[in-house]
């Protein structure tokens, strides 16, 4: 995955763990969500602090849990694009142990470019498509 982008680096804090002693699913979702802001910001060419008439709407996400994540685990998420549509991007994110590379979880998300005023999907412009292609892994 040489075209992947490191989009998150963090730790599984003890307060993120449930009564079974591993990180609760809500925190996987939050980490993947934070990571998606990085990837989509690189694709859009701007971050959320800049005024914009468009944004992103996630319309589908699947998460596969592959390895137990315990308190203190150092984690890195790498993200890449798998498909560029007319109005949408499908991307995958892989959460691995920062030191051992063991895959803890992966997600696959479809996100649609969204007009924030009209509340409808809009086409990806050519510069955005080019930036997305830089992270495309087929």
Domain map (residue ranges) of the chain = 5-133
| Three-state SS letters, the chain | CCCCEEEEEEECCHHHECCCCEECHHHHHHHHHHHHHHHHHHHHCCCCCCCCCEEEEEEEEEEEECCCCECCCEEEEEEEEEEECCCEEEEEEEEEECCCCCEEEEEEEEEEEEECCCCEECCCCHHHHHHHHCCECC
| 1 pLDDT tier (thresholds 50, 70, 90) | very low
> How is domain 5-133 classified at the architecture level of CATH?
Roll (3.10)
Q: Are 94 and 36 in contact (CB under 8 A)?
A: no
pLDDT at 48: 66
Nearest CA to 79 among 26, 117, 114, 43?
Answer: 43
Predicted TM-score (pTM) above 0.85? yes
Give per-residue pLDDT as tens, 42-93.
999 987 666 678 999 999 999 999 999 999 999 999 999 999 999 999 999 9
Give per-residue pLDDT as tens, 98-111.
999 999 999 999 99
């Amino acid at each position: 995955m040489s075209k992947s982008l490191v989009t998150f680096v963090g730790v599984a804090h003890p307060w993120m763990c449930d009564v079974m002693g591993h990180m609760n699913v809500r925190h996987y979702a939050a980490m993947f969500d934070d990571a998606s802001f990085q990837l989509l910001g690189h694709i859009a060419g701007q971050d959320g602090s800049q005024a914009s008439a468009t944004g992103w709407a996630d319309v589908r996400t699947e998460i596969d849990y592959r390895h137990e994540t315990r308190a203190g685990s150092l984690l890195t998420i790498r993200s890449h694009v798998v498909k560029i549509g007319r109005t949408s991007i499908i991307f995958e994110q892989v959460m691995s142990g920062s030191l051992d590379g063991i895959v803890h979880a992966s997600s696959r998300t479809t996100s649609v470019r969204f007009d924030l005023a009209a509340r409808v999907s809009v086409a990806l412009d050519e510069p955005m498509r080019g930036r997305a292609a830089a992270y495309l892994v087929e």
